[in-house]
Structure 1
């Protein structure tokens, strides 16, 4: 068997691709399944893609990506399955997927972990937003042999267009990577968040809560991201995200947070930050939105909140009580091993290729 992974990002750069595609590659190797990973963006373009300026370099990178996709068409006959994560091209119609499915008659496995059929314009992508075909998602789903959905909200959408849609959550390797348990018995307590520039604005939702807590308690608030946060907090520390140090950086947190707005876009999120915290024995406090309500057993592995008052009360409780933090953390790690680990879903992943 030969599988072609058609992916947006350079290898090792984006969380969704690292955990929904790249971490499964060793599983394919164990099964002696051959594969190739074909990113759209090259590393150089990716490094400047979300920075101000560099317009010519971005256009050149886009043109190179399109040319690589054209060349890739000549390789399609050699593969049994075409696994497409999110989309083959970032702008324009889904011409590559159409040719792969209709002209080459390949079995397409379409994988997505966001509500990408909805417009989600930010300052970083506003220039390209007008050229994105958000409505192509339903076409990609309908053309696919199977559809891998990151949560039930996405699966319900996919089932409208393809009965072969299956739920495959974003999972973590709790044996070789996320294999440590946070020590909660330390003098200084840290609250923190991990994410990217696209979700950094969500921290504004709990900024007033954190400011109020700072009036009464001494704690550090850590942000692990690819961009500095715009937060008015006394004890804010920014850690630039790094793939090599990600686990050790996360282990600096005693409490992990995941605020989300109650929007259709947010309902498509797959609770990934919460999963990272729980896998390391870090209790999570998150908005009661979308997949968070199923991924986080409330009051067992952490808390889901609907109001600022709930956010304040739950964070205050965890700041004060190391025993509760340790109890929720241990339960969270066990929950992850059972429900959201690579080991628990290996067969489900391999079944996509049957």
Structure 2
């Protein structure tokens, strides 16, 4: 019927009654769930929560909710992770659950475009599911300002909380070659890297020893560039970034990309790297131009920014140090996780006012 895993909290005060949180998610191995929610479990357990992950079917409408009704009435909090309920399912869940949090870090109210720059699919069916799930929640937690604006149309209370990065996994003090650019991401996002192929090609003509490291499970075929193909793994991704020099995050300027949470930028910063990124969505918030990296809106800006960072190693080093300090103070897991735990406690205890947006 369902697949679930449960984590028991660490020892807490005998006077503290454990509270149970169920996380409904389509794929618990997806990077967004692992980084955004599963990484919070140790902090939540230390606060006395029992965290249970439930694999929620993509189809089997109605049945998938009805078979979970008894469980919903027992738990203290339901966290709906990135999925969307049909309107009648949302009403059933609202009646059965004590408190509900809806969490997402992508523009799930749209369909992903076929290619960067193409208009995303914007269907009534998808929008109606998204709106119904927002309305059912006591609290909506989102990963970027664009998502907050959209959620505000339907939700009682909205909190903007970036996806945290575990800074302790990244060592910025490692030898570097001075000529290695890096991009990390899922295979489905490789088309964004194509957006900067031309400036990278021009740069490689100026700097014949330039290398582009791609950390992924699929790779571009660019014979004009010296590519380093590194298969992604959780065990090696931090070292793959730390031994690079400059991070890349190109995006198209569209409604889908605007919802992205800039997580790869936070990974670069944790590794002590300056980054060049498109001025889209959360990228504008994360990058401090001239201090932690640059925002580049066209091929010339990409070329100039990368050329500067590669030609001036001391500037690059200082910007990387500033980037590391910024992610430590604002986006580290040790900073974000307690804030989310506080939000869950408040969601259990109260309901927010209509249309309210807060930043955490």
Moved over 6 A (4+): 63-68, 129-132
Give the superposition deviation at 1:207.
Answer: 0.2
Structure scoring higher RCO (CA < 8 A, sep ≥ 6) equals 2
In structure 2, C-alpha distance between the alignment counterparts of 1:112 and 1:237, rounded to whole Å: 32
In structure 1, C-alpha distance between the alignment counterparts of 2:36 and 2:266, rounded to whole Å: 14
Q: How does 1:95-114 map to 2 (within 5 A)?
A: 96-102=89-95, 104-114=96-106
**Counterpart residue number, 2:353:** none
Q: Deviations over 1:29-87 (max 9, x none)?
A: 1112112011237xxxxxxxxxxxxxxxxxxxx66899766543332222111001111
Does 2:170 correspond to 1:197? Answer: no
Q: Deviations over 1:187-244 (max 9, x none)?
A: 4521010011221100111000111011110111011112222434320122121112
Structure 2 contact 176–245 (Cα < 8 Å) conserved: no
Does 2:135 correspond to 1:142? Answer: yes
**Counterpart residue number, 1:265:** 256
CA 134–35 in structure 1, closer or farther in 2 if over 3 Å, else same? same
**Counterpart residue number, 1:245:** 236
Give the superposition deviation at 1:95.
Answer: 5.3
Structure 2 contact 241–268 (Cα < 8 Å) conserved: yes
**Counterpart residue number, 1:50:** none
Q: How does 1:175-254 map to 2 (within 5 A)?
A: 175=168, 177-178=169-170, 180-183=171-174, 186-217=176-207, 218-254=209-245
CA 310–120 in structure 1, closer or farther in 2 if over 3 Å, else same? same
Structure 2 contact 113–256 (Cα < 8 Å) conserved: no
Does 2:309 correspond to 1:318? Answer: yes
In structure 1, C-alpha distance between the alignment counterparts of 2:90 and 2:44, rounded to whole Å: 23
- The counterpart of 2:71, out of the listed 57, 72, 75, is 75
Structure 1 contact 206–308 (Cα < 8 Å) conserved: yes
- The counterpart of 2:35, out of the listed 4, 14, 19, is 19
CA 269–109 in structure 1, closer or farther in 2 if over 3 Å, else same? same
- The counterpart of 1:2, out of the listed 20, 36, 41, is 20
**Counterpart residue number, 1:152:** 145
Give the superposition deviation at 1:341.
Answer: 1.2
Structure 1 contact 258–274 (Cα < 8 Å) conserved: yes
- What stretches of structure 2 of length at least 5 have no aligned partner? 1-18, 116-121, 347-360
Structure 1 contact 283–332 (Cα < 8 Å) conserved: yes
Give the superposition deviation at 1:121.
Answer: 4.2
TM-score by length of 2: 0.82
TM-score by length of 1: 0.84
In structure 2, C-alpha distance between the alignment counterparts of 1:160 and 1:207, rounded to whole Å: 38
Q: How does 1:273-312 map to 2 (within 5 A)?
A: 273-312=264-303
Give the superposition deviation at 1:325.
Answer: 1.4
Q: Deviations over 1:223-278 (max 9, x none)?
A: 11122224343201221211121211222321100000111111101111111100
Does 2:169 correspond to 1:168? Answer: no
In structure 2, C-alpha distance between the alignment counterparts of 1:118 and 1:64, rounded to whole Å: 22
Structure 2 contact 90–132 (Cα < 8 Å) conserved: no
Superposition RMSD in Å = 2.4
- The counterpart of 1:85, out of the listed 70, 81, 86, is 81
Does 2:21 correspond to 1:30? Answer: no
Count of residue pairs the alignment pairs up: 321
Structure 1 contact 182–254 (Cα < 8 Å) conserved: no
Structure 1 contact 267–291 (Cα < 8 Å) conserved: yes
Find the residue that maps to 2:206 and give its secondary structure: coil
Give the superposition deviation at 1:132.
Answer: 7.1
**Counterpart residue number, 1:53:** none
In structure 2, C-alpha distance between the alignment counterparts of 1:100 and 1:64, rounded to whole Å: 15
